[in-house]
Structure 1
Amino acid sequence: MAVIGIVEDNKKIRDLIQRYLDMQDKMDCPVAVDSVEEMLEHLKEHQKPDVILMDIQLPGMSGIKGMEIIKEKYPEIEIIMLTVYHDSHKIFDSLKAGASGYLLKHTSLPEIKESIESLLKGGAPMSPQIARKVISHFNEETPKKNENSALTNREQDIVNGLVDGLSYKMIADRYDISIDTVRAHIRNIYKKLHVNSKAEVITKSLRGEI
């Protein structure tokens, strides 16, 4: 059962998404709050969600700043931004802060569910409009190849699997290793590259920085 949390200050949207996710067979959404501060208080006392849907513009702390704090304290929690903002600045600030996905608020409820499922299988879900901006950004930048990459050959294999959109299980099958070994490699890759999410690893790889 995947446990989902929501940080969204629009009560109508928040309640709608929570009700929908609670109706799904393999999802439970026990916490839906309107601020990062409330979510941080919840995390101190309750079961940690597997995934948090996070708005950016919130009362009090912004979603991007809140995500940085949550990822630092609870790095195992995956975060998908769910917002109206589609400017490049906020997209890349979110990815740098540790977002594993970025969806726009007009995303349908079934698509939100599918995005959560994709994320839990190792994907990095993005609305098509966001994905186009990311690709455009990569195409405009001059690649900066890091010839002295600290990654081992096997870690580079794992990165290639992530870029190809493979789940941890599929990566394990591709290279005939266990899922636990894949997870251990992922943790080492995060440390070496100073990143917090699969999306950042993929970003660095596509920019030729690995």
Structure 2
Amino acid sequence: MDTEKDIKVMIVEDDDEIRELMHMIIGKSPGYDCVAAFRDCESALKPVTVELPEVVLMDIELPGMNGIEGIRKLKEKVPETDFIMLTIRDDDESVFESLKAGATGYLLKDTPPARLLEAIREVHEGGSPITPSVARRVTNSFHPQSVSPLSDRETEVLARLCEGEAYNTIAERFFISGHTVRAHIKNIYRKLQVNSRGEAVKTAIKDRLI
């Protein structure tokens, strides 16, 4: 008997049609439970400590408090919750500020429903889903600002993590084994003093390591 619990998801989105559509998609998908949906951050502040969602889908442009500030406020109340920014904005400032505020993932609103569900599970399992076009622009815009503790190969692997690539894809790209990829990632986590892929991506962006 499968006893795996549904992933508890909360939505903060001011467009009624989009919010209701996401609520329906998530709520009707096996393995997911849409516990609440709100049109602004202020309305979510108190219920978030009751519903205790594991993942929150957050828009940026909201009435009142914007989504970036909303993540900061909600993170104070539910620090273990993961946040995915789901927005139409793909400019560098929005991406960087969202990740600095505590977002673990960043997706555009044209993300297909199947990929959205996959991203929710990915972030729940320690990943950091980012829309590929945004990830490429982010990584291409970086230049190291200080001496990195990582080796050249570790830096290359970290860049691929920021692109959202799977371990087996990274192994194939560099003609190395999956075991070697995991060894590189273990070293990356140790050197950056992080414990997950999401934290490694955020550190790479914050410190411009790639």
Matched, 1:203 2:196: no
| Correspondence list, 1:29-108, <5 A | 29-44=34-49, 46-108=50-112
- Is 1:98–1:197's contact at 8 Å kept on the other side of the alignment? no
Provide the C-alpha distance between the structure 1 equivalents of 2:85 and 2:62, rounded to a whole number of angstroms.
12
CA distance in 1, matches of 2:8, 2:204: 25
Query: Aligned residue for 1:152?
Result: none
Residue by residue over 1:61-88, the C-alpha shift from the partner in whole angstroms, topping out at 9 and shown as x without a partner, is 0000010111223210000000010111
Q: Which moved more, 1:117-126 or 1:4-13?
A: 117-126
Unaligned runs of 5+ in 2: 1-5, 168-177
Is 1:4–2:6 an aligned residue pair? no
1:143-162 residue pairs with structure 2 within 5 A? 143-145=145-147
Give, in angstroms, the shift of residue 143 of structure 1. 3.9
Residue in structure 2 matched with residue 131 of structure 1 by the alignment: 135
Match of 2:31 among 26, 30, 33: 26
Distance, in Å, in 2 between the alignment partners of 1:91 and 1:208 is: 16
Q: How many residue pairs are counted as aligned between the two chains?
A: 178
- Percent identical pairs in the alignment equals 36
Counterpart Cα distance in 2 of 1:39 and 1:199: 27
Query: 1:201, CA displacement in angstroms?
Result: 2.6
Return the alpha-carbon distance in structure 1 between the equivalents of residues 206 and 166 of structure 2.
15
Q: CA contact under 8 A between 1:83 and 1:104: conserved in structure 2?
A: yes
- Confirm whether residue 17 of structure 1 aligns to residue 18 of structure 2: no
Q: Deviations over 1:28-59 (max 9, x none)?
A: 00201000011112123x22000000000001
User: Which whole-Å CA distance do the structure 1 matches of 2:102 and 2:202 have between them?
Assistant: 7
Q: How much is the aligned-residue C-alpha RMSD, in angstroms?
A: 3.1
Is 1:117 aligned to 2:121, yes or no? yes
Distance 1:42 1:190 in 2: 30
Structure 1 pair 18–198 and aligned structure 2 pair: CA distance change class (3 A): farther
1:17 is matched by which residue type in structure 2?
M
Match of 2:170 in 1: none
In structure 2, distance between residues paired with 1:121 and 1:142: 29
Distance 1:83 1:135, change over 3 A: same
